[in-house]
């Protein structure tokens, strides 16, 4: 029989307690099913792809938002450059509403809005209504 710690007989039969047997010993023993490694791997790979695709989709949405913010800043910068190249005879105030006009490739910033000129006078084509921000760039409120 071998030593007392060994639960396998010399002929290869199990001699230990039935509840520790690696194989069913009686008809009433629970069935031992072989592990389907292919199915386990397939399920793991499917779950991995599902969660990775969710993370990628989230990152793409975040990247789209960041690119939209970049385009907004670039647009604000272009308008700001036009404004600072334009003619105005006053000190702009942060938070104040102004209007940018173009006439013959010449830009002018005004406190007077496009509907406030009346019939007799105009500053040219209204480009945008803008508000001076704290960083001295200009927020476009409406325009082209």
Residues 82-116: tens digit of each pLDDT:
899 888 889 999 999 999 988 888 899 999 888 88
Burial letters 37-55, b for 16+ CB under 10 A, else e: eeeeeeeeeeeeeeeeeee
Residues 25-49: tens digit of each pLDDT:
777 777 777 778 888 899 999 999 9
For 142, the enclosing helix (H) or strand (E) is strand 138-143
Q: pTM to 2 decimals?
A: 0.56
């Amino acid at each position: 029989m071998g030593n007392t710690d060994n639960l396998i007989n010399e002929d290869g039969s199990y001699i230990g307690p039935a509840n520790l047997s690696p194989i069913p010993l009686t008809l009433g023993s629970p069935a031992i099913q072989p592990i389907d490694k292919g199915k386990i791997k397939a399920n793991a790979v499917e779950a991995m792809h599902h969660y990775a695709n969710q993370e990628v989709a989230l990152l793409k949405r975040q990247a789209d938002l960041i690119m939209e913010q970049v385009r907004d800043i670039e647009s604000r910068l272009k308008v700001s450059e036009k404004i600072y190249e334009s003619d105005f005879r006053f000190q702009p105030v942060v938070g104040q509403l102004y209007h940018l006009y173009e006439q013959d490739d010449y830009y002018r910033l005004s406190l007077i809005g496009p509907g406030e000129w009346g019939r007799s006078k105009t500053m040219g084509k209204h480009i945008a209504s803008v508000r001076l921000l704290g960083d001295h760039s200009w927020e476009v409120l409406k325009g082209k």
